[in-house]
């Protein structure tokens, strides 16, 4: 694909090593252009690789002029990146055919380079370390605090008090609120023996990590994979999720289709009688974006290949009762999944 235009920040960063909130990346044959406004011109000229930096007051018009002069006939774009207003302005009065290519950049990024794998692995290790620190903080000072306060604490610790950006706003959910896969914080307070679910991640050099742990919050809990619950139903649900999680990681192989990986988890949960409570897909790719290809779902025919990075995160969510999720990131190496 020699001709394409990008607007998404992470897509642009992948191409040239720099991006801003007002930029266009344009590839026309052998030439590449990074177009931005004067607020970013100094940094762009210092940091952009393998592209000519252009400063403009009207980025779209500048891109149009380059396309017209290039005499190309077709240019690819991702319709997810463009508002209707911006696309209409870009495509008017121009003879080039704009070909929609959904997830254009994600498709290019689905197989991670070795340097990317190292950055993602480091992000995952930093995330694991942060979970250890977070458990200690919650044990010492978390009981009696509500989810709003606990989420604020999680943000502080995950970011190492501002040293790292977060992959997303952490999810800190207690008891019934954990039954919502993307729970928002409430006034529910953490008490001894509450069920506590934490889903969080941080970025290292823009690459994301993602991790979920569920525990019974006793006086000295840790975010380990092995957990004990006083409730027999919670314990059964937890053990089922852990079995599904471990089975998928141990059995996945390069060459499998993604829906087969999803089935490795889903079959375990269904056989245990919790099938209706596993309400999302088994996982998603992770890289510069927290959600990218491959998607590990029951409908995905994507073939798993070495170099892919994705989550395995089965869950059981019983409305008004509790929710359990266990999530780890894996990389496909020599045909098998390695936990990062």
Q: Cβ–Cβ contacts within 10 Å for residue 102, how many? A: 10
- Residue 71: the pLDDT is 85
- Indicate whether 156 pLDDT > 90: yes
What's the pLDDT tens digit per position in 241-281? 999 999 999 999 999 999 999 999 999 999 999 999 999 99
Average pLDDT over residues 47-72: 95
Q: Is the dihedral of CA 93, 96, 101, 107 positive or negative?
A: negative
Beta strands in 17-135 (DSSP E): 23-28, 31-36, 52-55, 74-77, 97-100
Average pLDDT over residues 17-39: 96
DSSP helix/strand/coil, 188: coil
For 286, half-sphere exposure in the C-beta direction (CA atoms, 13 angstrom radius) is 32
Q: Where are the alpha helices (DSSP H) in 23-103?
A: 41-47, 59-70, 84-91
**Residue 73 pLDDT level (bands cut at 50, 70, 90):** very high
Average pLDDT, the chain: 97
Report d(CA 152, CA 157) in Å as an integer. Answer: 9
- Indicate whether 168 pLDDT > 90: yes
For the CA atoms of 211, 217, 218, 220, what is the dihedral angle to 10 degrees? 30
Q: Per the omega criterion (within 30 degrees of 0), is the bond before 294 cis?
A: yes
What's the pLDDT tens digit per position in 296-325? 999 999 999 999 999 999 999 999 999 999
Q: Rounded to the nearest 5 degrees, what angle is found at the Cα of 212, between the Cα atoms of 209 and 218?
A: 135
Where does residue 185 rank: exposed (0-12), middle (13-18), buried (19+ CB within 10 A)? buried
Average pLDDT over residues 71-98: 94
- Residue 93: the pLDDT is 86
- Residue 276: the pLDDT is 97
What's the pLDDT tens digit per position in 117-136? 999 999 999 999 999 999 99
Record: fold of 3-109: Creatine Amidinohydrolase; Chain A, domain 1 (3.40.350)
What's the pLDDT tens digit per position in 285-295? 999 999 999 99
Report d(CA 123, CA 164) in Å as an integer. Answer: 10
**Residue 2 pLDDT level (bands cut at 50, 70, 90):** confident
- Indicate whether 1 pLDDT > 80: no
The residue extents of the domains of the chain are: 3-109, 114-339
- Its CATH class, for the domain covering 114-339, is alpha beta
- Residue 52: the pLDDT is 97
* Structure token pair of residue 12: 């642009």
DSSP run (H or E) holding 217: strand 211-217
Percent of the chain at pLDDT above 90? 97
């Amino acid at each position: 694909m020699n001709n394409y235009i990008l607007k998404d920040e992470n897509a642009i960063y992948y191409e040239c090593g720099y991006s801003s909130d007002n930029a266009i990346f344009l590839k026309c044959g052998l030439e590449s252009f990074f177009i931005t406004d004067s607020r970013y011109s100094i940094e762009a000229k210092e940091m952009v690789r393998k592209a000519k930096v252009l400063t403009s007051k009207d980025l779209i018009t500048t891109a149009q002029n380059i396309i017209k002069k290039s005499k190309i006939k077709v240019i690819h774009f991702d319709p997810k990146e463009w508002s209707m207003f911006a696309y209409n302005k870009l495509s008017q009065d121009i003879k080039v055919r704009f070909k929609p290519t959904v997830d254009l950049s994600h498709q290019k990024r689905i197989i991670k380079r070795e340097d990317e794998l190292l950055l993602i692995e480091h992000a995952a290790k930093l995330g694991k370390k942060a979970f250890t620190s977070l458990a200690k903080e919650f044990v010492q000072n978390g009981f009696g605090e509500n989810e709003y306060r606990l989420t604020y604490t999680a943000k502080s610790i995950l970011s190492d008090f501002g040293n790292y950006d977060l992959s997303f706003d952490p999810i800190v959910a207690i008891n019934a609120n954990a039954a919502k896969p993307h729970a928002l914080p409430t006034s529910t307070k953490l008490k001894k023996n509450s069920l506590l679910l934490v889903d969080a991640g941080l970025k290292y050099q823009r690459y994301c990590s993602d991790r979920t742990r569920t525990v019974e919050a006793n006086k000295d809990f840790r975010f380990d994979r092995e957990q004990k619950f006083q409730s027999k139903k919670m314990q059964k649900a937890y053990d089922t999720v852990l079995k599904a999680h471990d089975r998928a990681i141990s059995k996945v192989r390069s060459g499998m289709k993604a829906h087969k990986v999803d089935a490795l988890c889903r079959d375990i949960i269904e056989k245990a009688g919790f099938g209706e409570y596993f309400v999302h897909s088994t996982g998603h790719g992770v890289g510069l974006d927290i959600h990218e290809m491959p998607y590990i779902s029951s409908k995905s025919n994507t073939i798993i290949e070495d170099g892919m990075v994705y989550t395995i995160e089965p869950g059981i969510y019983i409305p008004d009762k509790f929710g359990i999720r266990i999530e780890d990131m894996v990389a496909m190496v020599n045909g098998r999944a390695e936990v990062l």
